A and B are shown apart, each in its own frame.
Chain A
Amino acid sequence: MKARFEILRHRRGAAESRWQRVEIELPDENATVATALAAINARPDLKDAEGAPVGHVAWDCSCLQKKCGACAMRIDGVPRLACDTRLSELGAGPVRLEPLKKFPVVEDLVVDRTAMFDNLRQLHSWLDREVRLREDQVDVAYEASRCLQCGCCLEVCPNFMPGERFAGTAALPPLARLIEELAPSKKEEVYRLYTRRVYEGCGKSLACRNICPAGIDVEKLLVNSNAIAVWKRMGKR
């Protein structure tokens, strides 16, 4: 199949980005945006629509099976995982590839998501004591464990900006895994942080609801965590 792209190119340290049109022939009918990018990078001779060399397109990837969150980018305007986006579902193209916009661009489609990880540190997202999960807690803990830290939910959120108070949905699953099991001495502090930096910032517009590529039920985790941290419902004992 012939795949056509418009890729927002950004050189390291450059002030501006520019669109580049690239076409490539792919043998694989099931090709994804990720395999297309890999194919482009395996063709150092490839020229763009204006006849200039395409060169290496920088993008983040690792697992190629929607399990690591590395390849999140804007595809036709929507934040998605490149390895989970089949070209056949995108129409005739050209497919527009842009980096996530909420984060500083490093190069081409690679962004700096440090702020997302910093938030978790600032929110004390860790356990201070040994826990023993009960069987009825396993489902929530498992669901919460699955967050990829991809940042797609932050990209669509009208209230999130890196470095600002609201930590966004990406902070929710890691906290939801632990929040019922915090050591008594730490509970109040983390609950306060959660209330200020997660609960209060969310406008409940639910723009993030169907965007999560891991299919995490963020609403369920939110309700659960709010009940514990904001409404101080004691966990079932």
Chain B
Amino acid sequence: MNNERINIVGAGLGGLAAAIRLAEAGRPCRLISLQPSERAQSVLAEGGINAALDLMGEGDTPEEHCADTLKGGVYLADPNAVAGLTRGAPDIVRWLAGLGVPFQMENGGMIQRSFGGQKKRRTAYARSSTGKALMTALIDAARRHEASGLIERWPHHAFAGLTVEGGVCVGLRVRDAWTGEGFALPGRVILCSGGLNGFFPERTTGTVANAGDVTATVFAQGVRLANLEFIQYHPTTIGISGKRCLISEAARGEGGRLCVRRGGELWYFMEELYPELGNLMPRDVVSREMTRVVRREDCEGQVYLDMRALPAEIWARRLSDLREECRHYLAIDPAAELIPVEPGIHFFMGGIDVDANHRASLPGLWAAGECACQYHGANRLGANSMLGAIYGGQRAADDLMAQPGLDAGEPVSLGILPPMEAPGDDAFALELRDALLGGLGMLRDAARIEAALAAVDALAARADTERCRNRLALGRAMLLAALSRRESRGAHTRTDFPERDEGFRKTTVISRRGDAIAIEYRAIPEEVEA
């Protein structure tokens, strides 16, 4: 046995799950993050985590969870990976309960609620702050291994690049954001650095602290990305100062209804258009319908969430935080008034291209959580993402441990490194965002995407740091992926190609060679019997 210390970048749910898994097997790791775990986006998750525990006695099964996930993702996800995820889900939720997560209980037992795109009540939750409750439990679980030295925290360090030798990832470089000191850290790498929110400042429900720099940097280093065109717009968000604030899908899971004013009356359009799942259709469908109804001549230009009929008990026991949030930010009491809502950027289905074991295209590198492209296909189902982050982190750790390790080495100081950010970066980020949004909105067509590409290219002259150049290249890659996929599927809607095209039931594989970006398509793996 070697005593290689594995490097995990990111200390949200994915990174914590991987670190704990390694530590439980006695394997040391470094848990590297720009900010402490308490600040990771995972703490924002509200609605819950899916697992076919069948606590509501509806005959739910992992197979059904798998089928819903594949269908919700419009058949772009790897069916074998998803089968593993949904089979592993019940044990994950039981493990979390064993760590003391205060999952909602009634009459002495845990209960589950409904979430979009799923006919069974499958979502376990802790009131309106499931992500926070999960994070607190995992932070405590990791702390135990910090005390033993197995997990070593590097809590204010920015990722600065992979160390690649002979085509293998053998370590990484980080920069202490407080002192500027750089370190070369030996050991294989698991990336859990979250979604690409930083490309859309003020327009996402997530945190811009997930700037997307890790993904942009490894892309420049030749690591393949996938499915970047699939960006989830969550149907129900509200604008608050500096960002979009999510109104959790739980609002609809507990009985909230979407409506628009038509001819002086409220029209509950989702219920009329989709009698079976109604307001709980998958997010891509709901957001698209919302965009369509507000453009109709006979409707007013605002969609509302109507929660006025919910019983007081539901408000008190399950949605208290949500009600407080509406009062605080909108001065609206949702128990008495309609909430004006709009779709907003919420989740990135695409990211680092990984296989079912979470291996990236570069040997020695794994990726899990929202930075990776796995499980969610063309559209993620609500409450599947925290599950994917935890399961993926564990799976990556397991696969890594099953392979021969590297010889141990100690961190080497690289001295004081110049900052990667430059003073103009925040202004640049806003311009890049505006350019990208032109082509990556909810409804896309070739002309818009090409115009967006031109706008991005026009920014090239001003990208005078490596960071900005890498970000620009990743932005271009998103647009090229959107341009190449000449069909509509899941979160990617092309008004010039409104139909789904089975020829495109493939993974978009994106690679960067120098300045050139190549888009290719790979067949979805065949389903194998477990």
Contact = CB atoms under 8 A, between A and B. Distances in A.
Whether both chains belong to one complex is answered with: yes
Contact of A142 (B35, B106, B127): B127
Interface string A105-126: 0110010111001001100111
B44 A138 contact: no
Interface string A154-175: 0000000000000000000010
Given A42-B430, A125-B140, A62 B241 contact: no
Nearest to A71: B39
B401 to A, nearest CB: 22
Contact of B141 (A30, A113, A126): A126
Nearest to A104: B178
Contacts of A146: 129, 132, 136
A173 to B, nearest CB: 9
A63 B240 CA distance: 12
20 contacts: A32-B241, A35-B242, A38-B242, A42-B426, A64-B241, A64-B242, A70-B35, A86-B241, A106-B178, A114-B155, A117-B36, A117-B155, A126-B143, A127-B140, A128-B144, A131-B98, A142-B126, A145-B136, A148-B38, A177-B100
B38 A69 contact: yes
Given A35-B241, A133-B102, A178-B140, A149 B108 contact: no
Given A42-B430, A121-B143, A142-B126, A149 B38 contact: yes
Nearest to A29: B241
A43 interface: yes
Instruction: Kindly list the 9 A-B residue pairs having the minimum CB-CB distance in the complex, ordered from nearest.
Output: A130-B98, A141-B102, A126-B144, A35-B242, A62-B209, A145-B136, A142-B102, A62-B39, A68-B39
Interface stretch (A53-61, A189-197, A217-225, A228-236): A53-61
Contacts of B107: 135
B226 interface: no
Given A107-B178, A132-B97, A138-B102, 12 more contacts: A12-B179, A32-B242, A34-B241, A41-B426, A43-B427, A65-B44, A83-B242, A112-B178, A127-B144, A131-B99, A134-B108, A141-B100
B207 A145 contact: no
A181 interface: yes
Nearest to B129: A146
B212 to A, nearest CB: 14
B423 interface: yes
- Interface SS, A side: loop
Interface in A71-86: 83, 86
A7 interface: no
Contact of B100 (A83, A112, A181): A181
Nearest to A68: B39
Contacts of A30: 240-241
A231 B104 CA distance: 29
Interface residues of B, number: 51
Interface residues of A, number: 61
Contacts of B127: 142
B43 A67 contact: yes
B245 interface: yes
Contacts of B102: 133, 137-139, 141-142, 145
B141 A121 contact: no
B100 A64 contact: no
Among A28, A64, A128, residue most surrounded by chain B Cβ atoms (within 10 Å): A64
Contacts of A93: none
Contact of A63 (B41, B137, B178): B41
B453 to A, nearest CB: 24
Contacts of B434: none
Contacts of A131: 98-100
Given A121-B143, A135-B105, A178-B100, A68 B43 contact: yes
A93 B41 CA distance: 32
B43 A65 contact: no
B70 to A, nearest CB: 32
Interface string A13-35: 00000000000000010111011
B245 A65 contact: yes
A63 B98 contact: no
B100 A133 contact: yes
Contacts of B43: 63, 67-68
Contact of B207 (A12, A64, A139): A64
A177 B427 CA distance: 43
A83 to B, nearest CB: 7
Contacts of B178: 12, 106-107, 110, 112
B133 interface: yes
A62 B41 contact: yes
Given A38-B426, A70-B35, A145 B137 contact: yes
A58 to B, nearest CB: 9
A31 B180 CA distance: 32
A149 B135 CA distance: 12
Contacts of B98: 130-132
A29 to B, nearest CB: 9
B146 interface: yes
A228 to B, nearest CB: 15
Contacts of A114: 155
Nearest to B134: A145
A145 B132 contact: yes
Contacts of B308: none
B126 A145 contact: yes
Contacts of B409: none
B516 interface: no
B424 interface: yes
